[in-house]
Structure 1
Amino acid sequence: MGAWMVVGGALLALWATLVPPRPQPPPPEPEVRVLLSYGEREGFERYLFPELGVAAVGGPLQVLSGPSRSQLRPVVTLHSERPLLIRKRQGMVTAYFEGLQFDLAPFVRLRPADPAQPVSFQLLLPNSSRPAYPGELWIEARAEGFLLVNQVGLESYLKRVLPSEMPSSFPSEALKAQAVAARTYAHTRRQAEGFWKRFGADLSDSVSEQAYNAAPPRPASDRAVEETRGQVLTFSGAPIQAFYFSTSPGSTAGIEEVWPERAPLPYLRPRPQGLPSAGRLEHEAEAQAFFQNWNPAGFLDAGSPFWRWRVRFSRLDLERLLARTLPERARVAPEHVETLEGSPPPDAPGFTLGQLREMAVLRRGRGGYVSALQITTSTGRYVVWRESHIRALLRPNKEFTGGQDVLLELWQGPPRLNFPLLPSAAFALVEERDPQGNLLYLTLWGGGLGHGVGMSQYGALGLAQRGYSYRQILEHFYPGSRLEAIR
């Protein structure tokens, strides 16, 4: 008996060495909640869907509903790949599915009926061909329409951010730098009590946060996400604010220069992007010489057609433009539009712009980004603050000038017609006046695309082409930060 126990024990030991242990399932990845946008409208309206059409792909769909996000109950399980329509009818939320009709409460959750069988959701929208969404969909009915939130694993989310934010043809080290920056950005939003939490979300899918699911996943982007899985940037032990943008003109901006309400951060300071160095561009003569230099030699971002650009407005075009955009900015952000002289103010009835006499930069940061612009007309004098409002004020678009096509000339490639927004607030002004001193034309000589804070994506391309690893790229743009795994 004892001998058999010894032999049996040996056999069990041998069997344990021959049979590999059963693989353990990976730990659940963090999830992120993304508020989805409906169209190109401005403000909160872009997130309101008038009605919803959804098709689940890959498995059956469970519909839950209730009076709040925390009080949901199962309503019905539906077959996949058949359209589910959700509409508001006489103040009630009503769903339609293959001839069936059932009422729902204001909060709805769509999830896979079988957790082991993931489902993707195809939104059925007019004039839209968005890729399908993984994870779950949460719907909130409001008086103005439906809010739609996609709850998805963080790494799956990133596989739909990367191809939406950076061309998958970029070198792998640039893609990995983008993956870490985007993961850090989303992770920080998950932890913060920010604006989007009131809608049951951590962030939105628009470029005001980071673009999501504008393009389907790509193999190169997926590899970049997997090879950096779980990695985020920290400073003094906390995740950083990993802002990034498309193209710098030769320098980045300090966070407090672009968003004055934010405190300076040591890893988001103005930094030159190549040689010759931009130097300090607060003064107009230096800024004008810098932006009129269209020689790309030595600049990291010169792979972008937006590295340098210019747009020339006639005075008449500018008057028609400002007559629309100045009151618009005053209504949207009254705290960022100041009336120094003139009555009534731009957002009041009876406002008239008058004849444009001068436009002048009042303040710009070390990296050349304008943060205060003064407009002087025959009826008043106004100051517009903050880069986003200055870019919206000077839209190079005939929809606002009311005349012929507005050409945005780029340093390489064809010009862009009627661009929706000024590419950046990094520009200098050059006037043309008649012998009597009247303004005839104003040319904006500028560079870059985006707000200018943090990592420039074309700068990451330039560094990767120079042999930098993704760790070195991140250290360049976020000095003093450290790579760590999400805890």
Structure 2
Amino acid sequence: MYLTALLSSAALLLALFALRQGEPAPPPLPSSGQNIRVLLSAKPGQYLFESLEVTPLYARAQVRGGPDPQRLQPAFSSLGDGPLRFTAQEGRIRVSVLGKAYDLGPFAEVAADPEAPGAPRFLIGGKQRGDFYPEYPGRLLLGVREGRLSVVNVLDLQEYLRRVLPSEMPPNFPLEALKAQAVAARTYAYSRMTAPPERNYWKSLGADVDDSTNEQVYNGQPPQPSTDQAVAETLGQVLTYRGALVQAFYFSTSPGSTASIEEVWPDRERLAYLRARTQTNPVTVNISSERQALEFFRNWAPEGFYDGESSLFRWRVSLSRSELEAVLARTLPALRRASPEFVRTVEGRYTPDRPEFELGTLQGLKVLKRTRGGFITELEVRTSTGRYWVGRESNVRNLIRPDKRYTGGPDVMLERFNGVLSPNFPALPSAAFAWEEEREGNNLQRLTFWGGGYGHGVGMSQYGALGLAKAGKTHREILEHFYPGTALTVLSPGSKR
């Protein structure tokens, strides 16, 4: 009670100070112990199931249906009866089991039977990952959309994090790195749960997040004792800045520096705790020219880099001019259609999304803008038909796809720092790269890309957290390093929503 009073007084003082400074008071923090809503994907980037098989495990499940999620009525209970087979027919959900069929209406739920002990988990047909068959706790909400089924898994946030952590960070990482990841993942989840619909697309689909790398990977790997420990030992811990939840972005591997949020995503506002941070000691990062960038990325010695244990700390890939032309002829139009504000024609007759567009002969690439840590945020493509500007880090990475599905030839090999060759990488691992040209006279023949890191570069580098943990840093110190000026805050307990 005394602690609660102190927290309340601190919140009041913070609000009064903010008002006195002419700033709005931060929104109230959520309580811990809430449920999160996860939209499940049928395939990468697809969220509608043609049909769905759900198998209850360990305890009896109840199936309910109705005209909307608030008015669901029990239909039947099931355990050990085989899979429940759901389909969408004429705007209604139908389910069959043991030769019986039930009409559930436009919405349905599969959840624990309130009259039976225990809480079931669910296997979902088509959601296995190799030999791993993920189990889904909580409850499943089904709806009909575009003649197919959408599925939202509603579950306790701690249970969600138990399945996020091993999917996002190797469980053999030191405990302090795992705890830093747990806090970042929990903060990220709460920020998405509390975001208004206009700032969270998934809210329009009845969810807070999806289960993929669009947000946080959920149930990509089974829970592990080490990651369970990290989740348990950080119960309720989140990062705040001036009393509000932070945007706790994270990524796999830095090339030696992180990036400021507005550099990578120019449509986002500058944030004091998401600034470029050097991930080296005693090595320094000094990239002020393309010559220095190439020298930096050609340095494959990991000593002095926090991320030096990552296989993608450094990488390289080589593409011939004809391979690059085949790639760019597809990626430039696709990127123009997806984000026209970041892809445009500087010189030439047609924009890349026009049917008349022809790439022509590739003459070269040119860096127009690069962060101090080496991430390219603006790039120019020069061809015989014109010059084309590409902005935003993700577009730069997706412009050059070292994948035979784009080149049309044999496997394209990306060499990792540890010597492993990865065939047909879907995009460049990061936008932190430079290149060497091979020419015959003025004619471009080949580009060899030398790069570093994996991911967007904003926030916490997971392999950087590994390096700091091995150097003896606590999870508090790791988080302070990657999100400077933030506070580690423990949420008060509350009821589930």
TM-score (norm 1): 0.90
Q: Give the equivalent residue in structure 2 for 1:423.
A: 429
Cα deviation, 1:269-314, whole Å, max 9, x if unaligned, reads 0000013544343532222221111111100001001000011110
Q: Give the equivalent residue in structure 2 for 1:316.
A: 322
Equivalent of 1:204 in 210, 229, 238: 210
Equivalent of 2:419 in 413, 438, 462: 413
Q: Counterparts in 2 of 1:229-240, with a 5 A limit?
A: 229-240=235-246
Unaligned 5+ segments in structure 2 are 1-30, 493-497
Supply the AA of the counterpart residue of 2:50: P
**2:329 counterpart of 1:326:** no
Q: Give the equivalent residue in structure 2 for 1:186.
A: 189
- Cα distance, 1:192 vs structure 2: 0.7
Q: Give the equivalent residue in structure 2 for 1:118.
A: 119
**2:63 counterpart of 1:58:** no
Cα deviation, 1:92-116, whole Å, max 9, x if unaligned, reads 4221111011122222221111275
Cα pair distance change 1:69/1:281, threshold 3 Å: farther
Equivalent of 1:450 in 455, 463, 466: 455
Cα distance between partner residues in 2 of 1:350 and 1:222: 55
Cα distance between partner residues in 1 of 2:236 and 2:32: 12
Q: What is the aligned-residue identity percentage? A: 51
Q: Give the equivalent residue in structure 1 for 2:34.
A: 30
**What SS is found at the alignment partner of 2:256?**
coil
Q: Give the equivalent residue in structure 1 for 2:160.
A: 157
Answer whether contact 1:251 1:278 (CA < 8 A) is retained.
no
Supply the AA of the counterpart residue of 2:326: R
**Deviating more after overlay: 125-134 vs 200-209:** 125-134
Q: Give the equivalent residue in structure 2 for 1:440.
A: 445
- Cα distance, 1:364 vs structure 2: 1.3
Equivalent of 1:483 in 485, 488, 496: 488
Cα distance between partner residues in 2 of 1:465 and 1:292: 25
**2:402 counterpart of 1:401:** no
- Cα distance, 1:215 vs structure 2: 0.5
Answer whether contact 1:164 1:213 (CA < 8 A) is retained.
yes
Cα distance between partner residues in 2 of 1:216 and 1:165: 11
Cα distance between partner residues in 2 of 1:485 and 1:420: 39
Supply the AA of the counterpart residue of 2:252: S
Equivalent of 1:471 in 452, 472, 476: 476
Q: Counterparts in 2 of 1:375-394, with a 5 A limit?
A: 375-394=381-400
- Cα distance, 1:344 vs structure 2: 2.8
Cα deviation, 1:139-170, whole Å, max 9, x if unaligned, reads 12111522211111111111001100111111
Cα distance between partner residues in 2 of 1:81 and 1:226: 34
**What SS is found at the alignment partner of 2:72?**
strand
**What SS is found at the alignment partner of 2:346?**
strand
Unaligned 5+ segments in structure 1 are 1-26
Cα distance between partner residues in 1 of 2:180 and 2:310: 18
Cα pair distance change 1:28/1:439, threshold 3 Å: closer
Q: Give the equivalent residue in structure 2 for 1:135.
A: 138
Q: Give the equivalent residue in structure 2 for 1:262.
A: 268
Cα pair distance change 1:419/1:456, threshold 3 Å: same
Aligned length: 456
Cα deviation, 1:368-399, whole Å, max 9, x if unaligned, reads 11111111111121111111122111111111
Answer whether contact 1:278 1:367 (CA < 8 A) is retained.
no
- Cα distance, 1:434 vs structure 2: 0.7
Cα distance between partner residues in 1 of 2:41 and 2:394: 20
Runs ≥4 residues deviating over 6 A: none
State the superposition RMSD in angstroms.
1.7
Cα deviation, 1:318-367, whole Å, max 9, x if unaligned, reads 00011111111112222221112223321121321111111111111122
Q: Give the equivalent residue in structure 2 for 1:98.
A: 98
TM-score (norm 2): 0.88
Q: Give the equivalent residue in structure 1 for 2:376.
A: 370
Supply the AA of the counterpart residue of 2:118: Q
- Cα distance, 1:81 vs structure 2: 5.7
Cα distance between partner residues in 1 of 2:171 and 2:387: 47
Cα distance between partner residues in 1 of 2:55 and 2:163: 19
Supply the AA of the counterpart residue of 1:297: E
Equivalent of 1:290 in 267, 291, 296: 296
Cα pair distance change 1:200/1:211, threshold 3 Å: same
Answer whether contact 2:93 2:107 (CA < 8 A) is retained.
no
Cα pair distance change 1:475/1:73, threshold 3 Å: same
- Cα distance, 1:127 vs structure 2: 6.4
Supply the AA of the counterpart residue of 2:167: S
- Cα distance, 1:75 vs structure 2: 2.6
**What SS is found at the alignment partner of 2:62?**
strand
- Cα distance, 1:454 vs structure 2: 0.6
Cα pair distance change 1:237/1:265, threshold 3 Å: same
Supply the AA of the counterpart residue of 2:444: L
Q: Of the two, which has the highest radius of gyration?
A: 1
Cα distance between partner residues in 1 of 2:373 and 2:67: 50
Cα distance between partner residues in 2 of 1:64 and 1:389: 44
Supply the AA of the counterpart residue of 2:145: R
